[in-house]
Structure 1
Amino acid sequence: MANLTADSLVASAAIKCPADKFFNFFRYKMNEIVKIFPAAFTGVQLLEGEEGTVGCVKRWNYIVGGIPLSATEKIAAIDEGAKSITFAVLEGDLLLLYKSFEATLTVSEGLAKWTFVFEKATLLTPPPELYVPLVITLSTLVDAFLLLN
């Protein structure tokens, strides 16, 4: 068996709303994604912890590439200074392809950057490129929502 190491994939989206507002949305009001982007996010359930705190665990139902999927994720880290939040996948469909999977959102003025860090389950496992258009569209829709609200 080959020794597989963690890889990463980065996706960025331009945003117009203030960085603090965008960051705080993903920290405290992320459940509203189900209303903002219902074509991709079909449900969310808080399983444990408190919104916006490290250790908060949620189960998401979502659609990627036309396939309904689910993931249980927890907030693994929050860095207010850097305006970043790291979400670690604990269980779900992603872990059929990856031994581990984390997504970190880092927000700066004018930019939302998503970094996926993953460890492939096999050498043939593809990188999670289907998630790039998902987070870019999500960022764009959240930005538009925040500019209006």
Structure 2
Amino acid sequence: MAVSGAGTCKLETMEAEVEIKANADKLYKFISNQHYDFPKAASDKIHDVAVHEGDWETSGSVKLWKYTIDGNVETYKEKVEIDEANKRVSLTGLEGSHVLDNYKSYKIIFQVTPNSEGGSVKITLEYKKLNENDPPPQKYLSFLVNVIKDVDAHLIKE
């Protein structure tokens, strides 16, 4: 029996921009291939990042993240795509507790843009809700904004 309306949720996006004071190239390198340093930079949020397939630096590698959001420990298994030319890193969700409970697809995109004072990081979430009534992933976007702020502060101290 077919369910009417199944799979009709459309691809949606949410965006935020974070101004950074650290060197933009250094921050891009951190985001693109130093995932193992995220627990050092944002220890209250991100607890562990482990390579599941591939390595730390190659597009197509798969990593498993463990983090706390709103007091809950969650996991996110993602496949990374690195676009060096555009300083863009995409993390496509494969599995995960909580975040993929409400979203059929979920992708995090970081775009780093340098300027004379550091730069900015544009964070885009692309997602498809499982159900039209599910909330947009605002708490995850806020979480990512705060993680980037932590990374920026960490890199300034180095």
TM-score over 0.5 for the alignment? yes
Instruction: Please tell me whether the aligned partners of residues 87 and 112 of structure 2 are also in contact (alpha carbons under 8 angstroms).
Output: yes
Q: Where does residue 116 of structure 1 map in the other structure?
A: 125
Written as runs of structure 1 = structure 2, the 5 A alignment for 1:1-149 is 1-2=4-5, 3-75=8-80, 77-93=81-97, 94-109=99-114, 110-149=119-158
State the 1:40 CA deviation: 1.0
Unaligned 5+ residue runs, structure 1? Answer: none
Q: Secondary structure at the match of 1:38?
A: coil
- RMSD over aligned Cα, in angstroms? 1.1
Using the size of structure 2 for normalisation, the TM-score is 0.89
Cα distance in 1, alignment partners of residues 154 and 133 from structure 2: 38
What stretches of structure 2 of length at least 5 have no aligned partner? none
Please tell me whether Structure 1 or Structure 2 has the larger radius of gyration of its CA atoms: 2
Q: How many residue pairs end up in the alignment?
A: 148
Provide the C-alpha distance between the structure 2 equivalents of 1:139 and 1:43, rounded to a whole number of angstroms: 16
Give aligned-pair identity as a percent: 30
Cα distance in 2 for residues equivalent to 1:135 and 1:96: 18
